Amino acid sequence: MTSTLADDRTEGPVTPRYPGMKVTQARVFNSEWTKFRSLRSTNITLLVSVLLTVGLGALISAVTASHWASASPADRATFNAVVTSLDGVNISQLAVGVLGVLLLSGEYATGMIRASLTAVPKRLPVLWAKLGVFAGVVGAVSVAAAFGSFFLGQSLLSSKHLNVSIGSPDALRMVLGAAVYLVLVGIIGMALGGLLRNTAAGISSLVALFFVIPPVLGLLPTSWSDRIGPYLPSNAGEAFWGHPTGTHLSALAGLLVLCLWAAAAVAAAAIRLKKVDA
């Protein structure tokens, strides 16, 4: 190194120009919030999930009420006013899950991930911030949507006096459970997006996990499906927000199992993010 070009000021750690400059988890969280709200597709997907939750719940409640007179005894026996009003969740979980996938896989598809990880080379704070922003926003929106579905559905069912109040047994647990379920599905989606780093692959595996494997499992001998079935994420979820039936786990066990699914998926995504070249 020639002495004229060497610059002593550059030895050792750099003094940042802006006081207090430093990566903190709160700042990365803030950044992810900026990213989240500045994508139109994110907001549209979120809106779609709300419309599906509330709209389908209302539609199914209205149809059930209008056909009540001609409903079969079996249908009447399995009818549950809370589940009927929350039925939209069965479909809106797809929108929420896809949103989760997109929030991570979209960064890989566009190359944004390189900018994100260069700004935060420790990497994991980006994943935690993304999960936090997603859980916060989707949680708040889903709670609102679940209560909206419940009250709209109950008012539609009230024409046949089929409605229940929020104070009735299990009603509040199921409404809040539906919101929690949506958040957990979204988190699994996000983990799949990060694990596979590809939108199509992420959405496919999400659909497989929630919509394909459960019915396929039904084709297996009951001794198998009865043993494995309750532990699938969709069935574990139904145990705490859906129709309580004998084949499901208890509500608490269901919540625990789904949380374990989400935790395992997030752990795998975190390891892949940290260890594998971006």
Partner 1 sequence: MIEVSGLTKRYGDKTAVNDLSFTVRPGIVTGFLGPNGAGKSTTMRVIAGLDAPTSGSVLVNSADYRRAAVPMAELGILLEAKAVHTSRSAYNHLLALAQTNGVPKSRVAEVIDLVGLREVARKRAGGFSLGMGQRLGIASALLGDPQTIVLDEPINGLDPEGILWVRNLLKSLAAEGRTVLISSHLMSEMALTAHHLIVVGRGELIADLDVEEFVALASTNVVLVRSPQASQLRDLLLGPDVTITSKEAGVLEVRGVSADAIGDLAFDHHLRLHGLAVQQASLEDAFMEMTRDSVEFHAHAANDRTEAPERLPQTAGDRR
Q: What residue ranges bind partner 1 (CB under 8 A)? A: 1, 5-7, 9-18, 20-24, 27-28, 30-32, 34-35, 38-41, 106-107, 110-122, 277-278
Shortest Å, Cβ 201 to partner 1:
19
CB of 254 to partner 1, least distance (A): 36
Among residues 64, 63, 66, 57, the alpha carbon closest in space to that of 87 is found at 57
Rounded to whole angstroms, the Cα distance separating 186 from 192 reads 10
Report d(CA 161, CA 73) in Å as an integer. 17
Q: Name which of 87 and 107 has its Cβ closer to partner 1.
A: 107
Residue closer to partner 1 (CB basis): 20 or 169: 20
Identify which of residues 112 and 264 has a Cβ nearer to partner 1 in the complex. 112
**CA-CA distance, 278 to 276, in Å (whole number)?**
6
What residues contact 188, with CB distance under 8 A and at least 6 apart? 97, 100, 206, 209, 233, 261, 262, 265
**In whole angstroms, how close is the CB of 17 to partner 1 at the nearest point?**
4
Rounded to the nearest whole angstrom, what is the least distance from the CB of residue 11 to partner 1 in the complex?
7
Give me 36's structure tokens: 């989240």
Rounded to 5°, the CA angle 40-46-47 comes to 90
Per the CB < 8 A criterion, the answer to whether 242 and 169 are in contact is: no
By beta-carbon proximity to partner 1, the closer residue of 46 and 60 is: 46
49 vs 116, which CB is nearer to partner 1?
116
Least CB distance from residue 109 to partner 1, whole Å?
A: 9
Q: SS3 for 58?
A: helix
